[in-house]
Structure 1
Amino acid sequence: MTVTLVPPPAPRPPAVADPLDVLGVPGQVNLDYAATAPCARAAADAVAELLPWYASVHRGAGALSRRCTLAYERARQTVGDFLGARADDHVVFTRNTTDALNLLARALPAGTTVVTFGGEHHANLLPWPRGSVRLPVPPDPAGAVRALDAALGELRRPAPSGPRSAQQGPPVLVAVTAASNVTGERWPVAELARVARRHGARIAVDAAQLAPHAPVDVAALDVDYLALSGHKLYAPFGAGVLVGRADWLDAAPPYLAGGGATSHVGAATHDVRWATGPARHEAGTPNLLGAVALAAVCAALADADRVALHDAEQALLTRLREGFAALPHVLELRMFGPAAPRVGIVSFVVAGRDSAEVAAALAATYDIGVRDGLFCAHPLARRLLDEAAARAGRRDLPPTALRASIGLGSTTGHVDRLLAALAALA
């Protein structure tokens, strides 16, 4: 008898992990991405790979230090490319968006007037100098454009005897969010930038909430400065970035005085020449792992199908908002009309229930994490709570709100679990 030997099946290659998979704890439903997004696989892997080599940056001649210095500067290039930085822009690593906007506030030329809207996160309200102009929250995106045009026209109004010039008077900076951290509604950044340019003003954009959900390109939007946080962008290692025009940054005193920010320190107390470029504002040992993690996520997102990711998120967002609308005691907060473009963030209240108590019950009973409070945007959140009460004709709304936010890793099961829990609690 002839025996035919059949070779064993070839072993299956190990599954390749998606770099945009997010880490989490089984059983826990995380719907608090807008506060801090979970860690992406790309960030965790990049940090794990570099950790054995971890050493000083810009401060050593050994192999470890040279590798870490190269990794840090490559991270700067990757982040700048991801954000569409222009060739002469600076990419300055910071701790987060708040840190980046405070840096920019310190770098403003003397006499700069800053124009913001009342719908901003505290990070884009509090750092600016006295005399800043805060415009009311507009009824819709087009209203924001009109309000800014009118405000800048007034600021640039010539003296009765003087010539009219778009550059007349001290510098003006418009500071605006790209997407609200309270409602997720998107602001018309490109249109606002065109208005600013027409009036000879510069514009800074808080992209902390938009960048995790949609491409952001400094050059395409024609904005002067852009700030974001790594911990919103699936890289929770304490890094942020300020990208933008070099002239104001190079002319300003260093954000921090110390090693790395200098090109020369003499024997006399004030015999100091400060560096130019990003190093001027990055004194001290930098957050190497944060920069590398942020760059890894940027690279993974750049390689991903952003349209498909956006479509999947919007489908989840629609499911969430329609589910809220079907619950009679749940009211959604919004600035603009219900159809305004938005990212995966929804703030809401449960009528007759304290928001902190609802959040605690969701966590304790259903293993669901959401945010409660006023979301570091107190003026806006209080206004939207009042408007929601007026629209619904109710007097039993709590003084604070709840926020559910989604992103990579969110599923229909997560959304449905929140909706079922709210139906039971209400």
Structure 2
Amino acid sequence: MTAVLTADVCVAPLAQVSGSDLRVPLVQGGDCAYVNFDYAASAPALAQVTDRIGALLPTYSSVHRGAGYASRISTDCYEKARDSVARFVGADDDQVVVFTRNTTDSLNLLAGCVPGSTVVLDIEHHANLLPWKNSRVVRAADTLAETVRLLVAELCSKPTALLAVTGASNVTGEVLPIAVLADVAHRCGARILVDAAQLAPHRRIDLAECGVDYLAFSGHKLYAPFGAGVLVGRRDWLDAADPYLAGGGAVRNVTVESTQWAPAPARHEAGSPNVLGAAALAAACDALSELDFGAVAEHESALTARLLDGLGSVDGLEFLRLWSDAPDTVGIVTFTIDGFEPGEIAAYLSAEHGIGVRDGRFCAHPLLGRLGRPDGAVRVSVGLGSCSENVDRLVEAVHALVAGCRNWAYAKESGQWNPVPETRFSRDALV
């Protein structure tokens, strides 16, 4: 942990997010305030983000080629969004901002640009494990220090174009030393890509300072759930590669016989772009830039300590960790409980307590397998809108479950756990 706040400190939300006043029905009757512990999957929108979108909607129009007033406003907003993203991540002059749909889209885009082999760890989210052509997978060790040593050995063993690593594990929250890994990659003649989907919402990133060549993250994890992501990186590979999509906007000139492609970012942004998504992402970057990331880390640390302390005494509960020497984690706590399937726990928390968590294998099947949990686990993830009261409700609910105090029956149907009977809404309405 980065902070030393104790588990008994009362922690308030750090920012206003959408859904903070949401009330949800309970299967046993009545309702309660909803507790969102699924920030690692999709974070709610910041108030500044919804305000920015509301202000832009009246002038939303086509970009880059429209002469109308609204089109000029939208174009200006879209291009200025790149500046906001670049400032947020400390991009240098040689790095270009390409808007995409999400992190997965960004990584697949870059995979088509890499002129050689890629080295990845086996702990990666599928988005950073599957796209790379000619990849070599390194099995992470039991310590972070030994894992870095194994990466050094692999990078130096044969020519490598790219090292692709996560900034923070989406399963355990453990943060990797990206500045160290960037130095290692460069000394071995490779570049480095950081999947920052889980890191960007929680820690300050400065590409120029840490030496990272490429960075990818998603708006929907950065409090801007409007369908945009971003790839920030060095221009030369992006300009040399074939366009990610062939179409209007990606070209300078087209004849029947030939096509002259535009340089990045336009080269990889064919078609009408997601102007509102880019504006939302920029608004989130601007809002987060105004926060003290030290305070963000302390906020998460206090809530995580409270979670670990409260859940640590639950019989049969086991926390998932990768390394014994990881110096920092973002606000993620993942666990299993003997005698309960992860989906069963998640269904109970939602149905009887109005608490949303994530269960499953988190698009990281190899990692869950090596941690001895091939059937999945329960993930609790906190964010700017989380508070100590939320944590206490979760801890109390888990203790009640293990003590046999649940009020409803649950059954698995088509692989999913549900309360039986379901009284909160019609099951047909979910189809």
TM-score, length of structure 1 as denominator length: 0.87
Give 2:45's aligned residue. Answer: 39
Instruction: Note if contact 1:97-1:206 (Cα within 8 Å) is conserved in structure 2.
Output: yes
Give 2:381's aligned residue. Answer: 405
Note the alpha carbon deviations across 1:307-363, whole angstroms, 9 max, x for none.
112211110011111222121221100101276410001111111101111111110
RMSD, aligned α-carbons? 1.4
Amino acid paired to 1:126: L
Note the alpha carbon deviations across 1:96-152, whole angstroms, 9 max, x for none.
00000000001112xx110000010000000011x3110002222212221111111
Note the alpha carbon deviations across 1:185-224, whole angstroms, 9 max, x for none.
0111111111111111111000000110011111111011
> Is 1:305–2:292 an aligned residue pair?
yes
Q: Aligned runs of 1:119-198 on 2, under 5 Å?
A: 119-129=123-133, 131-156=134-159, 171-198=160-187
Give 2:415's aligned residue. Answer: none
Give 2:392's aligned residue. Answer: 416
Distance 1:140 1:19, change over 3 A: closer
Amino acid paired to 2:171: V
Q: Aligned runs of 1:27-426 on 2, under 5 Å?
A: 27-109=33-115, 112-129=116-133, 131-156=134-159, 171-268=160-257, 271-337=258-324, 340-386=327-373, 399-426=375-402
**Which segments of structure 1 move beyond 3 Å, counting only runs of 4 or more?**
none
Partners of 1:20 and 1:79 lie apart in 2 by 20
Size of the aligned set, in residue pairs, is: 379
* Residue aligned with 2:112, SS: helix
Instruction: Note if contact 2:14-2:385 (Cα within 8 Å) is conserved in structure 1.
Output: no
Distance 1:219 1:338, change over 3 A: closer
Amino acid paired to 2:76: L
Note the alpha carbon deviations across 1:160-185, whole angstroms, 9 max, x for none.
xxxxxxxxxxx521000010000000
Give 1:399 shift.
2.1
Give 1:38 shift.
0.7
| Structure 1: tracts of 5 or more residues without a match | 1-17, 157-170, 387-397
Instruction: Note if contact 1:101-1:227 (Cα within 8 Å) is conserved in structure 2.
Output: yes
Partners of 1:145 and 1:359 lie apart in 2 by 35
Partners of 2:126 and 2:388 lie apart in 1 by 32
Question: Please, which moves more after superposition, 323-332 or 353-362?
Answer: 323-332
Distance 1:420 1:405, change over 3 A: same
Instruction: Note if contact 2:214-2:234 (Cα within 8 Å) is conserved in structure 1.
Output: yes
Instruction: Note if contact 2:114-2:161 (Cα within 8 Å) is conserved in structure 1.
Output: no
Give 1:19 shift.
10
| Structure 2: tracts of 5 or more residues without a match | 1-12, 24-32, 403-431
Amino acid paired to 2:227: G
Partners of 1:284 and 1:19 lie apart in 2 by 38
Give 1:22's aligned residue. Answer: 17
Partners of 1:126 and 1:153 lie apart in 2 by 22
* Residue aligned with 2:49, SS: helix
- State which structure, 1 or 2, has the greater radius of gyration over its C-alpha atoms: 1
Instruction: Note if contact 2:314-2:399 (Cα within 8 Å) is conserved in structure 1.
Output: yes
Give 1:42 shift.
1.0
Give 1:81 shift.
0.9
Amino acid paired to 2:302: A
TM-score, length of structure 2 as denominator length: 0.86
* Residue aligned with 1:107, SS: coil
Give 1:248 shift.
0.4
Partners of 2:146 and 2:178 lie apart in 1 by 13
* Residue aligned with 1:90, SS: strand
Instruction: Note if contact 1:324-1:332 (Cα within 8 Å) is conserved in structure 2.
Output: no
* Sequence identity (%): 55
Note the alpha carbon deviations across 1:273-320, whole angstroms, 9 max, x for none.
000020000000000011101111111111112211221111001111
Give 1:370 shift.
0.4
Distance 1:331 1:222, change over 3 A: same
* Residue aligned with 2:371, SS: helix
Amino acid paired to 1:198: R
Instruction: Note if contact 1:231-1:239 (Cα within 8 Å) is conserved in structure 2.
Output: yes
Note the alpha carbon deviations across 1:241-272, whole angstroms, 9 max, x for none.
0000100000000000000000001133xx10
Amino acid paired to 2:211: D
Give 2:421's aligned residue. Answer: none
Instruction: Note if contact 1:261-1:274 (Cα within 8 Å) is conserved in structure 2.
Output: yes
Instruction: Note if contact 1:203-1:223 (Cα within 8 Å) is conserved in structure 2.
Output: yes
